[in-house]
Structure 1
Amino acid sequence: MSSFDQLSKRAKKLEKQGQIDEAIKLYELFLQDFPKNTRAKAALEKLQDAKSGAGMSAQQAFVKAREFIDQGAYAKGIELAQKLVEGAPDSAQVWNLLGLGYSRNQNPVEAERCLRKAIDLDKNFGMAWVNIATLFSEQNRYELALQAFQNARYLEPENAGVLCAIGGVLLEMGRLDEAEKFCVQAIKNDPELAKPYQNLGIILYRNKKRGAAKQAFEQVAKLRPNNMTALSDFLHARAQICDWDPLAPEFQNVKPIGKPGNSVSPFSLLHFEDDPYAQKKRSENRAQELAVRDPVKQFPRPAARPEKLKIGYFSADFHNHATLSLMMGLFGAHDRSRFEIHAYSYGSVTDGWRRGQLQKLVDYNWDVRNASDAEIVQHARDQGVDIAIDLKGYTQNGRPQLFAPRMAPIQINYVGYPGTLGADYIDYLIADHTIIPDDYKNACSERIIYMPHCYQPNDGGREFPENKQTRSELGLPEDGFVFCSFNANYKISPREFDIWMRLLNKVDGSVLWLFEGSEDAMLNLQKEAGKRGVDPARLVFAGYLPEAKHLSRHKHADLFLDTFNVNAHTTASDALWTGLPLVTLPGRQFAARVAASVLKAANLPELIAKSEEDYEAIALDLALHPEKLAAMKAKVAENVKACPLFDTKTYTLDLERGYDAAYERYLAGKAPADIDLASS
């Protein structure tokens, strides 16, 4: 093969990949050495014509522009589509193509202008309706999206993709019953289409039909065997209902890590394994998908600290939710003479007594649930937020993409997601030395602000009424020992469940009091108890109660047993606040070390086990020796009165020191670095 043939082969490969500029450079370099090579000259001219669109028919140019857009070469696709529009200004097809290019290139204003032009030219152009509906949906303009998708459906009533899209919009609007009907119809029309099963799984999950949701997610994973999101949704759905049966052969050897463009939900796999480095990789993959292509916003650096630092807290959970339960005292204790507090609420729930109380504790409460990402980002910038704090991360209903273009010069990952976000646009993570020991510091992409005690905020002013029920009214034995674990069902795995069942077998008359997440989980846990020689009736399930009533019923439990890969978080603090001892076994990843951090801050290190055998021994010792249990309960009740865990005022001062230290580094032009408040 001649040197030109080798060159031509490489150039054609680059051209197929959309890298025409690189192919042109190859020929230009070749011609510097062989200026008379006619074949190289001809190939170069052909490529230059292809780049400019010259020498192509309108149809060829249209196909080429679409190829560019599909390959991610948006600027080239848009440039070629613009030339097509100039040559055929009355073609709805080319206006639609140009609009699609702008949409993919994150230019919604131009995308909407072009797509509206396409529709004006041809109101029966279904794809233009689909594209503009998709654009509206991405901007959270759901009413407009629904109307546009309905117009597309009018043109193609049986189109499964359109039916599924309508179901997806209705899902986002919270109209679950309507959404389910459209998804079911889409599946009937095209059983091989995966997206309707995915939407249906989410709908069933939110309607507490967890077993059916698992089946829907499993079907998605089978239809998309290489799709990591489908696999992670399926694995999480299994965990939600405590389905521990062996995986189907096609899923057994798959490592659910993913890659950019095919990432997994990091939160969905916290339960799957205790591996901080795998979790970091999952987060990095997801963060790269969210990263913006345009240059990140640069903020003018002031000469000095403003009189009040503007702190923006961003969450979907500013209502009666565990996060707000933890943070209410913090919001009340912030030094309003030095900090201006902005609460950005993008969640769909807008009622609840805690939400009303929060509005009195912050300077500004912004309800942005109907705003697009771009609108929220711009609003935060216009307000001059100095420190933007993500209270959700990769948890359900989070919008971590808000932070990718930068809303503030300093951005922090805090409380909501128990782990790194893997993003270069998140500067700091609030943690402590128990949560992230030095051995695992490299498993975090952020710099760490180490709190002196526990990273978790707590409200030391929470009140709850005295529970006057008897144990029997709650389905518990009046005299037997009550082990409990009010953690979400997905956190339970065979590993700790084996220990729990051994404890029940060793402690006569004892029961295990669990949170009733769903009927499917309850039935599976009862089945697993029977497999281990335990009467399923010894598992007692506690239904949902409002926070105060839930706290008050803790008095009827004797010992809280923690889960391993994902610990008790808020539930750990709840237990201690009510005087209930908790035993934990710390693991390696953030989520597996939370309860140990909580216990240390409550001055109860003796309840932190060193191994599974130690975990079981601590629990058994307390269960078999009433005097030891009584002494431990007394110690817990005494410690919560004065321990760092529930000292909200000091915690808030420490956190504010962290904010100040991070801002001082920014003012000095220094890059983010670890901030150790424990040693300062």
Structure 2
Amino acid sequence: MRNIASAGRPVSPGDAMKAHSRFQEGFALHQQGDINAARVLYERALKWHPSHFDALHMLATIAYQAGQLDKAEALFLKALKIDPDAVYALNNFGNLLQDLKKYKTALAHYDRALSLDPNYVDAHNNRGDLLQQMGRWTEALESYERAIALSPNYAAAHYNRGNALGMMGRFEEAVASYDLALGLVPDYAQAHMNRGNALNELGRHADAVDSFDRAIEYAPDIPYLLGTRLHVNMQMCDWRHYRERLDAVLDAVKSNQPASLPFPLLALTSDPALQLRAAQTWITATYPAAKQAHRFSKRANKTRLRIGYFSADFRQHPVAQLIAGLFEAHDRSRFEIYAFSSGPDTRDEMRLRLESGFEHFIDVREESDAQLIARARELELDIAVDLSGLTTGCRPAVFAARVAPVQINYLGYPGTMGATYMDYILADETLIPPESERFYTEKVIYLPHSYQPNDRKRAVASHPLTRKELALPQEAFVFCCFNNNYKITPETFDRWMAILRAVPDSVLWLLQASEHTANNLRREAHNRGVSPDRLFFAPKLPVDQHLARQKCADLFIDSLPYNAHTTTSDALWVGLPVLTCLGEGFASRVAASLLRAVHLPELVTENAEAFVARAIELARDRGQLEAIRQKLETNRLTAPLFDIERLARAIECAFIEVDERRQAGLPPVSIHIAEPLPLTDRASKR
């Protein structure tokens, strides 16, 4: 600690001595944890010596730690005006600026500190954290590695290095980095948790759960970890602690505690009230609305509406598979279409198609939120459509700041985002019955048929796969479900096993995530009185071959509470009937939406008992099932579900209506879109 010469009025030696004495007393109390008493003494020191650097710096630190960020900023600025070369103040002010999301200024302060002291380990580590926030992973990694080179036993730097490697998809290296941190600090709960996340990405689910268990042992209240652990258990179909862990998560969510991220909860309950609470809890804590609303000016010479689609999934991904045709079908005479891609540039066939399907395709994966916000605002979008919602790679901060006067939640996340800055959600009356609107923070745009776009260009392998090639029994009745394994709850499996017991010559065909998962399901089948030999597992195949093999099944039986979504439309596209059961929430009603849009309401059941009975009925009455197959084949190319042009016109009508409301100064309200006229007829009536 030291005094810096006064920058204002002269300070007498006696006053300087009194200020120094008060500061020392305050600092001693500060070290003992008596923050309030320390603050009083620091303030007394400033009365004797208004330019006492250390008192200003410590008061800034106290304000920062108390969450008084504006006050802390003013105090840091005063202190650094007195001594601009105080490296620890430069570092601490950089931390505050990082929290204030003033990233460029924060980086300048870290760089200034390191120019004065290149061996300042904490500044290297904090600089890495900032660069991670900015999405500059390679530079962040370099900062962490510099910190580690200077201080090999710096556990936090090893941990942060693991985080950066994980964000770069280098999960094996991330695990190794977490292991180094844990070798130094065995009870480092966050390192155990993120090690588990990396192991989960590597498909090492059991090891991931072990890491989560250790994290919970050391820190039982880590936000969202209970839900994450349960979600990974569900990926393995490991239900040994299912009921007690589910009850713990749901009880915590009811109490507005951060027990589960919103997405995993969709597969655990169909209760839309709980899904809303989980979303609001997460959004409020991590991406609240900007304190000051951005004001949008009217765009001059507005001839076409500018629509921005934001996604991390513009590649070979279920969202892209569904929506690619919509982008191509938009009326370019009335809409200017932008893509903002924040996911990996895979250069796969779908990525190349999307790049050519948009009028403007902008790769923003290396741009910070602030950069993306500025870029989108410069383009003067009329409507921003979020295709990621609360899924992997989402960027809610962009929408929290507002990048367009109208913001819409669509397709990628099957539920409410719980965010006041999302104005609308695109849906239909099956997905969100009017009486359920209260569970959505967005106003609902009701499309006339199903909300889901479907691409008629999805390729099916020309080679007709046979049951023999797929190792399926030739004469058996083949039930199937190609949903991800985490959607298989014990209750869903109970229903499936009741069906198999009632139809002795039947088998169940599922996706195989791993042999471990398959063995868990075989064990659960045995426990329910069904031979494990009646379960068959389909390995991962290219999309066109996966579509082709579904023709070898007789009936797709759905899961609840998280239905088949893209998987339902895949099955229907190749002519495979899908039997579903309605739940309460959005994710529990998607398959019903699709079936009604392809005019097959007879495959929608209202409860578990009806679902089981209907599956058994169709398996025993092959004639009835064949009639449904024929009806599906007839409807496939005539019903609304696979008519992307019809859906495009409806969505365009919605865009026009919500923009007109905004232009008129009217707030968002739920709206119903009527069946639109064909594009040629609309043009003739203008």
Q: How high is the TM-score relative to the length of structure 1?
A: 0.90
2:470 to 447, 469, 474: 474
Question: Quick one: structure 1 residues 645 and 598, their matched pair in 2 at CA, closer, same or farther if it must change by over 3 Å?
Answer: same
CA RMSD, Structure 1 to Structure 2 (Å): 2.5
Cα deviation for residue 469 of structure 1 reads 2.7
Q: Confirm whether residue 372 of structure 1 aligns to residue 368 of structure 2.
A: yes
**Structure-1 residue corresponding to 2:640:** 644
Counterpart AA for 1:392: S
2:297 to 289, 296, 300: 300
> Could you tell me whether the CA contact under 8 Å between 1:346 and 1:367 is conserved in 2?
yes
Cα separation, 1, equivalents of 2:105 and 2:316:
40
The superposition leaves residues 397-432 of structure 1 with CA deviations (integer Å, 9 ceiling, x where unpaired) of 222222110111111000000001111111110001
**Structure-2 residue corresponding to 1:661:** 657
**Structure-2 residue corresponding to 1:167:** 162
**Structure-2 residue corresponding to 1:125:** 120
User: Which moved further from structure 2: 269-278 or 550-559?
Assistant: 269-278
Counterpart AA for 2:220: P
**Structure-2 residue corresponding to 1:389:** 385
Cα separation, 2, equivalents of 1:335 and 1:97:
52
> Could you tell me whether the CA contact under 8 Å between 1:52 and 1:80 is conserved in 2?
no
Q: Confirm whether residue 317 of structure 1 aligns to residue 313 of structure 2.
A: yes
> Could you tell me whether the CA contact under 8 Å between 2:230 and 2:246 is conserved in 1?
no
Counterpart AA for 2:145: Q
Cα separation, 1, equivalents of 2:348 and 2:488:
29
**Structure-2 residue corresponding to 1:351:** 347
**Gapped regions of structure 1 (runs ≥ 5):** 1-15, 17-22, 24-43
Q: How does 1:142-221 map to 2 (within 5 A)?
A: 142-221=137-216
Q: Confirm whether residue 111 of structure 1 aligns to residue 109 of structure 2.
A: no
Question: Quick one: structure 1 residues 259 and 295, their matched pair in 2 at CA, closer, same or farther if it must change by over 3 Å?
Answer: farther
Cα deviation for residue 321 of structure 1 reads 0.9
State the SS of the aligned residue for 2:191: helix
Counterpart AA for 1:354: M
The superposition leaves residues 353-377 of structure 1 with CA deviations (integer Å, 9 ceiling, x where unpaired) of 0111111211011111111111111
Cα separation, 2, equivalents of 1:53 and 1:331:
68
Q: How does 1:228-377 map to 2 (within 5 A)?
A: 228-246=223-241, 253-254=248-249, 255-257=251-253, 262=258, 264-288=260-284, 289-302=286-299, 306-377=302-373
Cα separation, 2, equivalents of 1:45 and 1:183:
41
User: Which moved further from structure 2: 428-437 or 186-195?
Assistant: 186-195
Cα separation, 2, equivalents of 1:104 and 1:549:
48
State the SS of the aligned residue for 2:581: coil
> Could you tell me whether the CA contact under 8 Å between 1:65 and 1:81 is conserved in 2?
yes
The superposition leaves residues 528-560 of structure 1 with CA deviations (integer Å, 9 ceiling, x where unpaired) of 111111111211111111211111111100000
Cα deviation for residue 202 of structure 1 reads 2.1
**Structure-1 residue corresponding to 2:408:** 412
Cα separation, 1, equivalents of 2:252 and 2:549:
39
> Could you tell me whether the CA contact under 8 Å between 2:69 and 2:96 is conserved in 1?
yes
Cα deviation for residue 60 of structure 1 reads 4.2
Cα separation, 2, equivalents of 1:52 and 1:183:
48
Cα separation, 2, equivalents of 1:51 and 1:425:
43
Q: How does 1:454-469 map to 2 (within 5 A)?
A: 454-469=450-465
> Could you tell me whether the CA contact under 8 Å between 2:303 and 2:334 is conserved in 1?
yes
> Could you tell me whether the CA contact under 8 Å between 2:258 and 2:278 is conserved in 1?
no
Cα deviation for residue 88 of structure 1 reads 2.5
User: Which moved further from structure 2: 459-468 or 254-263?
Assistant: 254-263
Q: Confirm whether residue 73 of structure 1 aligns to residue 68 of structure 2.
A: yes
**Structure-1 residue corresponding to 2:77:** 82
Cα separation, 1, equivalents of 2:364 and 2:188:
33
Q: Confirm whether residue 619 of structure 1 aligns to residue 615 of structure 2.
A: yes
**Structure-2 residue corresponding to 1:526:** 522
Q: Confirm whether residue 587 of structure 1 aligns to residue 583 of structure 2.
A: yes
> Could you tell me whether the CA contact under 8 Å between 2:428 and 2:451 is conserved in 1?
yes
State the SS of the aligned residue for 1:257: helix
Cα separation, 2, equivalents of 1:563 and 1:45:
62
Cα deviation for residue 228 of structure 1 reads 2.9
> Could you tell me whether the CA contact under 8 Å between 1:133 and 1:146 is conserved in 2?
yes
State the SS of the aligned residue for 2:619: helix
**Structure-2 residue corresponding to 1:9:** none
Question: Quick one: structure 1 residues 292 and 420, their matched pair in 2 at CA, closer, same or farther if it must change by over 3 Å?
Answer: closer
Cα separation, 1, equivalents of 2:502 and 2:244:
37
> Could you tell me whether the CA contact under 8 Å between 1:572 and 1:582 is conserved in 2?
yes
Cα separation, 2, equivalents of 1:484 and 1:184:
41
The superposition leaves residues 576-595 of structure 1 with CA deviations (integer Å, 9 ceiling, x where unpaired) of 11111111111111110111
Question: Quick one: structure 1 residues 66 and 251, their matched pair in 2 at CA, closer, same or farther if it must change by over 3 Å?
Answer: farther
Counterpart AA for 2:237: C
Cα separation, 2, equivalents of 1:244 and 1:434:
31
State the SS of the aligned residue for 1:474: coil
1:99 to 94, 99, 102: 94
Cα separation, 2, equivalents of 1:258 and 1:401:
25
The superposition leaves residues 580-616 of structure 1 with CA deviations (integer Å, 9 ceiling, x where unpaired) of 1111111111110111111111111111112111101
> Could you tell me whether the CA contact under 8 Å between 1:418 and 1:590 is conserved in 2?
yes
Cα deviation for residue 622 of structure 1 reads 0.7
Cα deviation for residue 69 of structure 1 reads 1.1
Cα separation, 1, equivalents of 2:490 and 2:369:
40
> Could you tell me whether the CA contact under 8 Å between 2:388 and 2:394 is conserved in 1?
yes
User: Which moved further from structure 2: 473-482 or 198-207?
Assistant: 198-207
Question: Quick one: structure 1 residues 143 and 93, their matched pair in 2 at CA, closer, same or farther if it must change by over 3 Å?
Answer: same
Cα separation, 1, equivalents of 2:255 and 2:504:
50
Counterpart AA for 2:128: A
Q: How does 1:487-566 map to 2 (within 5 A)?
A: 487-566=483-562
State the SS of the aligned residue for 2:224: helix
User: Which moved further from structure 2: 221-230 or 579-588?
Assistant: 221-230
Cα separation, 2, equivalents of 1:69 and 1:50:
19
Counterpart AA for 2:310: F
Question: Quick one: structure 1 residues 156 and 258, their matched pair in 2 at CA, closer, same or farther if it must change by over 3 Å?
Answer: farther
Question: Quick one: structure 1 residues 540 and 458, their matched pair in 2 at CA, closer, same or farther if it must change by over 3 Å?
Answer: same
State the SS of the aligned residue for 2:212: helix
State the SS of the aligned residue for 2:473: coil
Counterpart AA for 1:274: S
Cα separation, 2, equivalents of 1:662 and 1:672:
7
Question: Quick one: structure 1 residues 440 and 150, their matched pair in 2 at CA, closer, same or farther if it must change by over 3 Å?
Answer: same
Question: Quick one: structure 1 residues 439 and 292, their matched pair in 2 at CA, closer, same or farther if it must change by over 3 Å?
Answer: closer
Q: How does 1:443-462 map to 2 (within 5 A)?
A: 443-462=439-458
Cα deviation for residue 246 of structure 1 reads 2.1
Q: How does 1:427-438 map to 2 (within 5 A)?
A: 427-438=423-434
**Structure-2 residue corresponding to 1:486:** 482
Question: Quick one: structure 1 residues 54 and 483, their matched pair in 2 at CA, closer, same or farther if it must change by over 3 Å?
Answer: farther
Cα separation, 2, equivalents of 1:261 and 1:109:
34
Cα separation, 2, equivalents of 1:200 and 1:552:
38
**Gapped regions of structure 2 (runs ≥ 5):** 1-29, 31-35, 677-686
Cα deviation for residue 498 of structure 1 reads 0.7
Cα separation, 2, equivalents of 1:641 and 1:392:
29
Question: Quick one: structure 1 residues 225 and 677, their matched pair in 2 at CA, closer, same or farther if it must change by over 3 Å?
Answer: same
The superposition leaves residues 304-344 of structure 1 with CA deviations (integer Å, 9 ceiling, x where unpaired) of 8x211111111111111111111121111110111111111
Counterpart AA for 2:143: A
Cα separation, 1, equivalents of 2:224 and 2:544:
37
Cα deviation for residue 259 of structure 1 reads 8.3
The superposition leaves residues 500-538 of structure 1 with CA deviations (integer Å, 9 ceiling, x where unpaired) of 111112212211000112333212111111111111121
User: Which moved further from structure 2: 553-562 or 229-238?
Assistant: 229-238
Question: Quick one: structure 1 residues 51 and 510, their matched pair in 2 at CA, closer, same or farther if it must change by over 3 Å?
Answer: farther
| Percent identity between the two aligned chains | 38
